[in-house]
């Protein structure tokens, strides 16, 4: 069980708990003001923090290793994400009262573009507020969409090869679902390229049913983390379960339905690997 | 390791050009707006900063693509030779430490 499920989910999946989306939570942590402030300074804070830790890692690795848990703890308190499946993202959208289509903050920092509309914000209660209110250019692009439109878009994003993530601002209040790729998004890129836990892995691990696998390599094309290898001798694909983040892309892409998703907690070696 | 130097004075409008950001596959360069942007998205207000410098492979693509020669890549730099942090960086570092202290205090309470 991950730290978040223990602290905020009473042992179940924390992102499926309605209380982490509730009005009480939103008011209780003073989330609104903090979210507005955080969104307003998002790129600046992230660039400063990342630049600082990178300089420290290069010049003073010992201090960096000592400070790393503290920095991660601070990041978890402020903003944290976890990879989820398409079906779970749809479940979350089902709970919502109002869904917004928003610009992705991370792509704004990485590519300097505010028109990457890959993020869904939502409220699970009646509210006149807008998520990402402080974000410049908010009114230019964002819009209120229906749940069905949101689900259709989610599926389109999945087709394009994006993974779905939930994000908190002022943990544990969950503000949005984002659709990320390893090439664009900073936390997913760091996770994919250096293995640093910048975003939590999902609750699942993929495994390939070798009787069904025909070796078409569709799953290799879609994996953002490069954790699938192809055996030329046996003409089968193999998932590296240590690297697998449980995003479910290969599961939905496989034409033979050969990918099986198992709960991470049932596998002893992988249970604690987030 | 590779030294990435970005001349903020030479770069006129990062958000309109974006060439170096788009060409970098490792996300070494990140962009952010200077403070007090007052809810505006003025392209002149944004700055590009080489952030994830340990990820730079020294492919020189950003240096080649920049029309204003604002980027300078120096490969084969040892860690001791890293350029000293600029004034802006020190300022932001102080701000980061301040925030960290506040967080630790709230955590302790």
Cβ–Cβ contact A196 with B under 8 A:
no
d(C-alpha A173, C-alpha A28), whole Å = 10
ipTM reported for the complex surpasses 0.85: no
A104 inside 8 A of chain B by CB: no
Q: Nearest CA to A205 among A120, A258, A263? A: A263
pLDDT at B89 over 70: no
Is beta strand A98-102 parallel, antiparallel or unpaired with respect to A204-208? unpaired
Contact A43 B32 (CB under 8 A): yes
Q: Which residues contact A14 (CB under 8 A, 6 or more apart)?
A: A2, A4, A5, A7, A8, A20, A172
What pLDDT shows up at residue A234?
A: 92
Tokens matching residue A240: 């590296």
**Contact criterion met (CB < 8 Å) for B30 and A59:** no
Residue of A nearest to B33 (CA): A44
For A151-195, the pLDDT digits (tens) are: 999 999 999 999 999 998 888 888 889 999 998 888 898 888 887
Q: Report the distance separating Cα B29 and Cα A199, nearest Å.
A: 20
CA–chain centroid gap for A100, Å, is 17
pTM: 0.83
**Per-residue pLDDT tens digits for B11-67:** 888 888 888 998 988 888 988 887 655 545 566 678 888 888 888 888 889 999 999
What distance in Å separates the CA atoms of residue A178 and residue B75, rounded to the nearest whole number?
36
Assign A113 a pLDDT band (cuts: 50, 70, 90): confident
Contact predicate A157/A241, CB 8 Å: no
Q: Using CA atoms, how far apart are residues A89 and B94, in angstroms rounded to an integer? A: 39
Q: Which residues pair with residue A145 across a beta bridge?
A: A99
Tokens of A46: 């992230």
Distance in Å, alpha carbon of A141 to nearest chain B alpha carbon: 13
Render pLDDT for A7-66 as a digit per residue (tens, 0 to 9): 888 878 888 888 888 888 888 767 777 777 777 778 888 888 888 888 888 877 777 888
> Residue A164's Cα: distance from chain center in Å?
5
Q: Name the closest residue on chain A to residue B100, using Cα atoms.
A: A74
pLDDT for res A165: 94
Q: How confident is the model at residue B90 (pLDDT cuts 50, 70, 90)?
A: low
CB contact under 8 A, B54 and A57: yes
């Amino acid at each position: 069980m991950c730290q978040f499920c223990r602290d905020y989910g009473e042992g179940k999946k924390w992102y499926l708990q309605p209380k982490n989306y509730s009005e009480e939570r939103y008011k209780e942590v003073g989330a609104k003001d903090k979210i507005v402030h955080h969104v307003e300074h998002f790129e600046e804070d992230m660039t400063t923090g990342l630049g600082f830790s990178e300089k420290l890692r290069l010049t003073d690795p010992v201090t960096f290793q000592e400070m790393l848990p503290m920095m991660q703890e601070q990041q978890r308190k402020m903003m944290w994400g976890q990879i989820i499946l398409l079906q779970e993202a749809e479940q979350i959208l089902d709970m919502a009262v109002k869904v917004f289509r928003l610009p992705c903050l991370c792509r704004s920092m990485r590519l300097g573009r505010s028109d990457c509309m890959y993020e869904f914000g939502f409220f699970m209660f009646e509210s006149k507020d807008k998520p990402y209110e402080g974000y410049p250019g908010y009114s230019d692009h964002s819009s209120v969409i229906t749940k069905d439109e949101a689900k259709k878009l989610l599926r389109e994003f999945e087709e394009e090869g994006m993974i779905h993530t939930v994000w908190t601002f002022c943990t544990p209040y969950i503000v949005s679902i984002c659709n990320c790729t390893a090439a664009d998004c900073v936390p997913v890129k760091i996770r994919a390229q250096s293995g640093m836990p910048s975003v939590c892995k999902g609750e699942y691990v993929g495994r390939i049913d070798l009787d069904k696998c025909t070796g078409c390599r569709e799953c290799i094309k879609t994996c953002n983390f490069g954790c699938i290898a192809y055996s030329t001798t046996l003409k089968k694909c193999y998932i590296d379960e240590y690297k697998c983040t449980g995003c479910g892309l290969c599961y939905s892409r496989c034409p033979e339905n050969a990918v099986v998703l198992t709960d991470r907690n049932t596998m002893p070696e992988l249970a604690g690997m987030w | 390791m590779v030294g990435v130097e970005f001349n903020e004075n030479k770069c006129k409008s990062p958000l309109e050009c974006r060439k170096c950001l788009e060409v970098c596959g490792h996300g070494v360069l990140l962009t952010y707006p200077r403070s007090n942007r007052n809810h505006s998205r003025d392209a002149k207000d944004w700055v590009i900063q080489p952030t994830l410098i340990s990820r730079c492979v020294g492919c020189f693509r950003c240096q080649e693509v920049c029309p204003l020669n604002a980027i300078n890549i120096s490969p084969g730099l040892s860690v001791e030779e890293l350029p000293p942090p600029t004034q802006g960086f020190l300022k932001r570092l102080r701000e980061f430490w301040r925030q960290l202290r506040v967080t630790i205090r709230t955590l302790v309470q």
